[in-house]
C-alpha cells in the first residue's frame, strides 16, 4: 500500500489481509482502490463484506447499496449482494429472526438402530426382535429458529432464544417414530463492548421434550452457560450445560424411566474460514449421565468436524454447498446391564461420516441431501450396529 502507484500490489495486500483476518487493513486497502476507481462494484462489495465482518452493518449496507448502483454489477453479484443485504437488514432490526425448515424423506438400512436379528444376549434372555436391524423409510420435518432481541444499549446486551424441532414418522418401524423439541433462551452480555473479538457470555435455561413410538418419552429442564470469543479468525463457543432428564415408561420402552437423572455436558463449538469458500466447524464435548439405573449411566465423548465448501456453478446464481463431515461418539456405561450381559459394562464407540449437498432451487429454497454412514462398535454384541442413511428434501434458510 505504501507503493500507491501499483494498484495490483494494493489489491494483493487487501486480499491477503482479509484472508488473514486483518479486516481494518483490508478496509484501508480497498478504500484506497475505491479512490482510484469508485465505479467498480466488486470494490464496494468487498468493503461491504469487510464491514459486515466488523459488525458494522450500517456501513456494510451502504457499500452494498451503492455497489448495486454501479454500471458493471453482474447479475451474479447482484444476487449475492441481495442475499447479504437481506442478512444485514435483519441484523439492523431490534427483533431478529433467522433459521431454517426442511421436510423430506429418509431411507435407512437400519432404521431401528438395532443389531442383527441373529444376535444373542449373553444374559440368556430373549432378544426383542422389534429392535432387530431393519431398513425403512420415514417422512421427516425439522426446523430451527434463532431469535435475537437487541436492547440497543451501549452495553451490547441482547436476549437470545433458539428453538429446534424434529419429527420423523416411519413407514413400518413405528417403534422409532420420534418427535423432539429443544428450547434454549437467555441474555447475552458483552464483557468488552465495542471489541468484536471481545468475550460475550450467555447464561440460559434449556427445556427439552421427546416423543418416541408416538408417546411421551423424555422431558428435561436445566440451564447452562456459554461464551463466545473470536481468536485469530477462529470463533469459539465453549459451553457447559446441566439438564435434569425424566424418562417415561411406555409399551416399547418399559424400562425407560431408568434413564431418569441429570445429564451434564461440557464442550465447545468452534469454526473458522479456510479459504476459497471452504470453512470448518467443529464440536467437542464431554457428557456425564448419572441415571437411576447404574447400567444406564455413562460418561461419553462427542466430536464432530464439518467442512462446508461453497462453490459457484455456472448458470446458478447462488453457490452450491458441499459438506463432508465426520464424527465420533462414545458411551462408557458405568455398570453391566444384567438383562443383556451381566458380566460386561458396555462401551460403545460410534463413528460416522457424511456428505451433504445443498443445491439452490429458487430464492431461499435449496434441495438439501445428506448421505451418512454410522458404525457403532461395542464390546457388547447387542449394541454393535451400522446404518446407512440417505436424506433428501427441500429446505429453506431464512
Partner 1 sequence: MVPWKAAALLLAGATLIANPAAAQEVGTATAVNPTSESTPPGGSTQTLTLGAHIIHKEHIHTSPSGSVQLLFLDKSSLSIAPNTSIVIDEFIYDPNSGKGHMLTTLTQGALRYVGGELSHQGEATIQTSNATIGIRGGTLTVGQGSGGTKVLNQYGAITISNNGGTVVVTMPGYEVTITGWNIPPGQPTKVTDAEILHYLALLTSKPGQHGGGQFSSFGNLACGGPGQAACPTPPWFSTNAGQDAANQIIVQGTHLGTSQTPPPPSCTGDCPH
Residue 298 C-beta: closest distance to partner 1, Å:
9
- Which three cell numbers, joined as nine digits, stand for 323? 459438506
State which of positions 33-72 bind partner 1 (CB under 8 A). Answer: 33-38, 40, 42-43, 45, 49, 51, 54-59, 61-63, 65-66
- Between CA 276 and CA 353 the distance in angstroms is 23
* Residue selected from 93, 117, 244, 276 as contacting partner 1 according to rule CB under 8 A: 276
Whichever of 85 and 227 has its CB closer to partner 1, that residue is 85
* Residue selected from 134, 184, 188, 217 as contacting partner 1 according to rule CB under 8 A: 217
Residue 300 C-beta: closest distance to partner 1, Å:
10
- Which three cell numbers, joined as nine digits, stand for 337? 446391564
- When asked if residue 15 is in the footprint of partner 1 (CB under 8 A), the reply is yes
- Between CA 349 and CA 302 the distance in angstroms is 10
Per CB under 8 A, the segment of 169-177, 199-207, 221-229, 236-244 that binds partner 1 is 169-177
Residue 223 C-beta: closest distance to partner 1, Å:
18
* DSSP structure string for 218-271: EEEEEEEEEEEEEETTEEEEEEEEEEEEEE---SS-TTGGGG-EEEEEEEEEEE
* Residue selected from 20, 105, 191, 196 as contacting partner 1 according to rule CB under 8 A: 196
- Which three cell numbers, joined as nine digits, stand for 174? 413405528
Whichever of 106 and 202 has its CB closer to partner 1, that residue is 106
- When asked if residue 397 is in the footprint of partner 1 (CB under 8 A), the reply is yes
* Residue selected from 93, 125, 363, 379 as contacting partner 1 according to rule CB under 8 A: 125
- Between CA 1 and CA 12 the distance in angstroms is 10
Whichever of 202 and 218 has its CB closer to partner 1, that residue is 218
- When asked if residue 360 is in the footprint of partner 1 (CB under 8 A), the reply is no
Residue 322 C-beta: closest distance to partner 1, Å:
11
- In this structure, what are the phi and psi dihedrals at residue 239, rounded to the nearest 5 degrees? -150, 155
State which of positions 77-116 bind partner 1 (CB under 8 A). Answer: 77, 80, 83-84, 87, 92, 100, 102, 106, 112-115
List, in sequence order, every residue forming a beta bridge with 237; answer none if it has no partner.
269
Residue 188 C-beta: closest distance to partner 1, Å:
14
Per CB under 8 A, the segment of 139-147, 199-207, 225-233, 236-244 that binds partner 1 is 139-147
- When asked if residue 142 is in the footprint of partner 1 (CB under 8 A), the reply is yes
* Residue selected from 68, 164, 221, 384 as contacting partner 1 according to rule CB under 8 A: 164
Whichever of 119 and 226 has its CB closer to partner 1, that residue is 119
- Which three cell numbers, joined as nine digits, stand for 211? 416423543
Q: Which residues of 257-284 are buried (b: 16+ CB within 10 A; e: fewer)?
A: bbbbbebebebebbbbeeeeeebbbbbb
Locus of grid cell 462427542: 302
- When asked if residue 121 is in the footprint of partner 1 (CB under 8 A), the reply is yes
- Between CA 65 and CA 85 the distance in angstroms is 8
- When asked if residue 386 is in the footprint of partner 1 (CB under 8 A), the reply is no
List, in sequence order, every residue forming a beta bridge with 333; answer none if it has no partner.
298
Residue 310 C-beta: closest distance to partner 1, Å:
5
C-beta of residue 344 within 8 angstroms of C-beta of residue 382: no
Give the CA-trace dihedral at 44, 48, 51, 57, to 10 degrees.
140
Q: What string marks each residue from 223 to 262 as x (binds partner 1 by CB under 8 A) or -?
A: ---------------------------xxxxxxx-xx---
Per CB under 8 A, the segment of 199-207, 221-229, 236-244, 367-375 that binds partner 1 is 367-375
With CB under 8 A, what is the number of residues at the site for partner 1? 144
Nearest Cα neighbor of 211 from 174, 264, 171, 258 is: 174
- When asked if residue 24 is in the footprint of partner 1 (CB under 8 A), the reply is yes
- When asked if residue 220 is in the footprint of partner 1 (CB under 8 A), the reply is no
- Between CA 178 and CA 115 the distance in angstroms is 19
CA distances (Å), origin 208, targets 8, 196, 242, 392:
55, 32, 12, 26
Residue 240 C-beta: closest distance to partner 1, Å:
18
- Between CA 17 and CA 55 the distance in angstroms is 17
Residue 301 C-beta: closest distance to partner 1, Å:
13
Determine the straight-line distance between the first and last CA of the chain, rounded to whole angstroms: 39
C-beta of residue 284 within 8 angstroms of C-beta of residue 269: no
State which of positions 338-357 bind partner 1 (CB under 8 A). Answer: 339-340, 346, 348, 350, 354, 356
Amino acid at each position: 500500500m505504501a507503493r500507491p502507484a501499483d494498484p495490483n500490489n494494493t489489491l494483493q495486500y487487501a486480499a491477503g489481509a482479509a484472508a488473514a483476518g486483518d479486516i481494518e487493513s483490508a478496509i484501508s486497502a480497498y478504500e484506497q482502490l475505491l479512490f482510484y476507481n469508485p465505479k467498480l462494484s466488486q470494490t464496494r462489495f468487498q468493503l461491504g463484506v469487510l464491514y459486515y465482518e466488523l459488525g458494522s452493518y450500517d456501513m456494510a449496507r451502504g457499500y452494498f447499496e451503492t455497489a448495486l448502483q454501479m454500471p458493471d454489477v453482474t447479475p451474479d453479484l447482484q444476487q449475492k449482494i441481495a442475499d447479504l443485504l437481506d442478512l444485514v437488514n435483519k441484523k439492523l432490526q431490534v427483533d431478529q429472526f433467522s433459521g431454517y425448515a426442511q421436510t423430506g424423506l429418509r431411507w435407512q438400512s437400519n432404521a431401528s438402530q438395532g443389531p442383527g436379528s441373529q444376535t444373542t444376549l449373553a444374559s440368556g434372555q430373549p432378544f426383542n426382535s422389534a429392535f432387530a436391524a431393519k431398513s425403512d423409510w420415514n417422512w421427516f420435518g425439522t426446523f430451527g429458529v434463532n431469535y435475537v432481541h437487541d436492547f440497543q444499549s451501549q452495553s451490547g446486551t441482547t436476549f437470545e432464544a433458539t428453538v429446534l424441532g424434529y419429527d420423523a414418522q416411519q413407514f413400518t418401524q413405528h417403534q422409532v417414530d420420534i418427535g423432539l423439541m429443544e428450547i434454549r433462551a437467555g441474555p447475552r452480555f458483552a464483557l468488552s463492548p465495542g471489541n468484536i473479538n471481545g468475550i460475550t457470555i450467555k447464561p440460559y435455561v434449556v427445556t427439552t421434550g421427546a416423543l418416541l413410538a408416538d408417546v411421551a418419552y423424555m422431558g428435561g429442564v436445566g440451564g447452562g452457560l456459554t461464551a463466545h470469543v473470536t481468536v485469530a479468525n477462529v470463533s469459539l463457543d465453549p459451553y457447559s450445560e446441566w439438564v435434569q432428564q425424566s424418562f417415561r415408561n411406555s409399551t416399547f420402552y418399559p424400562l425407560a424411566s431408568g434413564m431418569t437423572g441429570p445429564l451434564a455436558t461440557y464442550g465447545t463449538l468452534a469454526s473458522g474460514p479456510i479459504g476459497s469458500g471452504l470453512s470448518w466447524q467443529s464440536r467437542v464435548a464431554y457428557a456425564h449421565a448419572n441415571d437411576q439405573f447404574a447400567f444406564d449411566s455413562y460418561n461419553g465423548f462427542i466430536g464432530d468436524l464439518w467442512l462446508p465448501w461453497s462453490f459457484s456453478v455456472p448458470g446458478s446464481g447462488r453457490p452450491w454447498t458441499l459438506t463432508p463431515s465426520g464424527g465420533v461418539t462414545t458411551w462408557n456405561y458405568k455398570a453391566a446391564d444384567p438383562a443383556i450381559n451381566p458380566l460386561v459394562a458396555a462401551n460403545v464407540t460410534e463413528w460416522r461420516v457424511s456428505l451433504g449437498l445443498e443445491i439452490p432451487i429458487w430464492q431461499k429454497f435449496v434441495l438439501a441431501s445428506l448421505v451418512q454412514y454410522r458404525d457403532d462398535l461395542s464390546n457388547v454384541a447387542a449394541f454393535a450396529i451400522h446404518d446407512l442413511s440417505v436424506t433428501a428434501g427441500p429446505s429453506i434458510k431464512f
